[in-house]
Amino acid sequence: MMGTWSTKRKIIFALSGLALLGFASVLIPGIRILIIEFIENVIVRRPSGDVDRLHIRTQHLAFRGIMLCAIVLFWTFQEQLRRKNKAIDTVIFSITTINYRQFVMPVLVMFGVYLLGISAIIRADFLYIDDLGRSVQGYRGWENWSRYISSFLAIFIHGDTHINDISPLTQLIAAFFIAASSVALVYVINDKKITKTALAVSIPIGLSPYFLECFSYKFDAPYMALSVFASIVPFVFMKDRLAFSVVSVLGLLVMSMTYQASSGIYIIIVILLCFQQWSMRRKTNREILSFMAISIISFCIAMISFRVFFMVPRDTYAGTSVFSLSQIIPGFFHNAVRYLMLVRSDFGIIWQALLLLAGLSFLIKSVIITKRSKFIALLASFAAIALMSVLSFGVYLVLANPLFDPRAMYGFGIFIAMLGIYAAGSVKKAFALPALALCWCFFVFSFSYGNALAGQKRYIEFRTEMLLHDLAILFPKRGVEPQPIKITGSAGHAPVVYNIAARNPVIRRLVPVHLKGNWVWGGRLLVLHYNYHATLFLRFDDTTEEAEFQQIFDSRYHTIKSDGERVLVFLK
């Protein structure tokens, strides 16, 4: 049967080689910069002087990038040549014999579900954090965070190197990637069977409160969703080891260069698959260990390659520094505890109860259907849940200063979806009821969240206009020089947010306050979106300097002080 693949093998092999070369050249920072510069300067004719901020910074990675691609190409073709035609035939056969048509309708259905779920977010038309800058300044800047693919794809999605607000198109693209991710995860975990119940319980992949923040970003959403899909799709090709390992490395590199918060997804899928295979005796222990070894090696190759060849080191609020060897174990446990405690504080009592029931259903079903010792299966299933819940945070667990914002924690939503998909298997589907109930809660919450964004937008607009009105009256003859202004305090959340927070505390961390002090975006709303001619200063040179400011205005919403030149605003 393999002999019938001769012609097709040559065509696919040639196309694969060209695709790999093209993919690699795009990822080489030096070549990528040259391509982008050519597009910007020759085709788009970008004005001279408007230089990519990371041009000089990324040029030094060119040689290392070339070396990495050479190694990858050598390893791939050497391995194929070593195994000769048999390996190529096996890879092609395993990839081309998958019935991809079976994914079309489920993806469309899930796309409709996710589109409905984020409809309130789209309707709110809320500029979410970084959107404030990109929507009026048109920069990309994802290279700052080593997200080269995000920066490159943005040129094609926006049709220009100078990007604009094209929502909801970006959010629709993100919804499509998440829909494909849901179907792929169900296909992988549910033994290549795509059922309605399994699809329903996969909803937390995109509608958990954590990934809802990703959907809120008008500019970043497609690439965050792509990172999820790139982490799951390698498991579709598990039938062939070589295909799985190659797609794993490439997929994990795509994940790393789009949004690194997905780094835990690949890990927890491996854990669940190994547990399933062991519990049901689908494979021998040797085969399971072999699959685990291939997965670990592929993951390590991708992560090390990204860190050595592509990562731009950062030492900011979301730094890239890893714990030292002496601190890595206590640091790991510290981050893990903080991660789980944040989940606990974010979830209301109903969500916590349903999550506990979903975990309990996983344990009971594992014991009932296992073909191993019941007691050993109980211990193994408990260990699997514990490992997946913690490792869903991915490589952030070993970072000295990881990001703990909701958008960095959506791996926990993938973990919840996996509990539900496992419980919704062909045997004892009733165990999926707690997961279905929790999915319904997340689905309903997505509308509450979108409406909260709309309420917050109206409230901040009101507070901002009140402040600008008072400043215009107090300084009617301000000259051409920008007015130095410092904002302290916070406008706070709208009343609707406090109402939701009574049962779902995570809303406080999801809805940003654009008008507040001590935050990089806290005062830029005035300057960027209301054309207020001011320059913001964040701190005083001398701690006693604030005492020199005299109060010139006080109201229910804010107090304004001035020293004759600078303005100090305290928000109430």
Cα–Cα distance, 179 to 209 (Å, whole number)? 17
DSSP string covering 392-460: TTGGGGGBSS---SGGG-THHHHHHHHHHHHHTSSS-GGGGHHHHHHHHHHHHHHHHHHHHHHHHHHHH
Cα–Cα dist 302/180, whole Å: 23
When pLDDT is cut at 50, 70 and 90, the band that residue 381 belongs to is very high
pLDDT band at 72 (very low <50, low <70, confident <90, very high): low
How is residue 534 written in tokens?
């001011």
Q: Which residue has the higher pLDDT, 386 or 485?
A: 386
> Residue 523: what pLDDT?
77
**Residue 71, token pair as written in the block:** 């190694």
How is 511-568 classified by DSSP, letter by letter? S--SSBSSSTTTTHIIIIIS---EEE--S-SSGGGGGGPEEEEE-SSEEEEESSS-EE
CA dist 177 and 172 (Å) reads 9
By 3-state DSSP, what share of the chain in percent is helix, strand and coil, each rounded to 5?
70, 5, 25
Beta carbons of 493 and 511 less than 8 angstroms apart: yes
In the chain, % of residues over pLDDT 70: 81
Q: For residues 3-22, give the mean pLDDT.
A: 54
User: Quick check: 53 pLDDT over 50?
Assistant: no
pLDDT of residue 99: 77
State which of 42-46, 240-244, 550-554 shows the largest mean pLDDT.
Answer: 550-554
Distance CA 425, CA 431 (A): 9
Inform me whether the pLDDT recorded for 396 exceeds 60: yes
Q: Band of the pLDDT at 56, cuts 50, 70, 90?
A: very low
Percent of the chain with pLDDT over 90: 57
Judge contact between 346 and 509, C-beta under 8 A. yes
- Residue 501 — left, alpha, or beta (φ > 0 → left; ψ -120 to 50 → alpha)? alpha
Cα dist from 390 to 185, 214, 398, 409, whole Å: 19, 21, 12, 11
- 494 close to 523: Cβ distance less than 8 angstroms: no
Number of alpha helices (DSSP H) and beta strands (DSSP E) in the chain: 24, 5
Confidence band (pLDDT; 50, 70, 90) for 476? confident
Rounded to an integer, what distance in angstroms lies between the CA atom of residue 419 and that of residue 431?
Answer: 10
Distance CA 145, CA 143 (A): 5
Distance (Å, rounded) from C-alpha 275 to C-alpha 366? 10
pLDDT averaged over the chain?
A: 84
Among the residue ranges 59-63, 166-170, 300-304, 373-377, the one predicted with the least confidence is 59-63
Give the number of other Cβ atoms within 10 Å of residue 9's Cβ. 19
- How confident is the model over 542-558, as pLDDT tens digits? 555 677 788 999 999 99
Q: What is the pLDDT of residue 532?
A: 80
Give which of 235, 224, 198 is closest to 106, Cα–Cα.
198
For residue 414, is pLDDT > 90?
A: yes
**Contact between residue 415 and residue 390 where contact means Cβ atoms under 8 Å apart:** no
27 and 66 Cβ atoms separated by less than 8 Å: no
pLDDT over threshold 50, residue 570: yes
Tell the residue number behind the tokens 């306050």, with chain if given. 513
Tell me the two tokens of residue 322. Answer: 């890893």
* Residue whose C-alpha is closest to residue 339's, from 271, 270, 415, 275: 415
Range among 135-144, 212-221, 486-495 rated most confident:
212-221
Q: Which of 250-254, 269-273, 306-310, 425-429 has the lowest mean pLDDT?
A: 425-429
Single out the residue of 224, 106, 122, 107 nearest to residue 172, CA to CA: 122
pLDDT of residue 540: 58
- Tell me if 213 sits within 8 A of 407, measured CB to CB: yes
Give the pLDDT confidence score for residue 190 in this predicted structure.
Answer: 92
- The token duo for 398 is 């070993």
Residue 55: predicted pLDDT: 44
Expressed in angstroms, the distance from the first to the final Cα of the chain is: 75
Q: Is 66 helix (H, G, I), strand (E, B) or coil?
A: helix
Q: What is the mean pLDDT of residues 352-356?
A: 97
> pLDDT band for position 449 (50/70/90)?
very high
Confidence (pLDDT) at 215: 97
Distance between CA 85 and CA 405 in Å, rounded?
Answer: 49
Q: Which of these ranges, 82-91, 142-151, 179-188, 329-338, has the smallest mean pLDDT?
A: 82-91
Residue 502: per-residue pLDDT: 93
Q: For residues 390 and 17, which has the higher predicted lDDT (pLDDT)?
A: 390
Closest alpha carbon to 490 in 527, 464, 457, 468: 464
Give the pLDDT score at 77: 52
pLDDT at position 545, please? 67
Rounded CA separation 446/199 (Å) = 18
Q: What is the pLDDT of residue 547?
A: 75
Q: Name the one residue in this structure whose structure tokens are 């606990």.
A: 344
Token output for 36: 């982008």
Evaluate whether 309 touches 61 at the Cβ level (below 8 Å): yes
Give me 537's structure tokens: 């200063």
Cβ burial, residue 49 (10 Å; 0-12/13-18/19+): exposed
Pick the range with the lowest mean pLDDT from 28-42, 196-210, 340-354.
28-42
Give the pLDDT score at 484. Answer: 85
Q: How far is CA 447 from CA 10, 117, 171, in A?
A: 51, 7, 15
Which letter does DSSP use for residue 323 in this model? Answer: P
Alpha-carbon distance of 51 to 46, in angstroms, equals: 9
pLDDT at 95: 65
Q: Is 191 left (phi over 0), alpha (psi -120 to 50) or beta?
A: left
Neighbours of 405 (CB within 10 A): 17
Angle at 479 between CA 475 and CA 481, to 5 degrees: 115
What's the rounded mean pLDDT across residues 322-345? 94
- How far, in Å, CA of 532 to CA of 485, rounded? 11
Q: Can you give the pLDDT at residue 47?
A: 45
pLDDT score at 428: 75
Most confident of 113-122, 311-320, 460-469: 113-122
What are residue 95's phi and psi, to 5 degrees? -80, -45
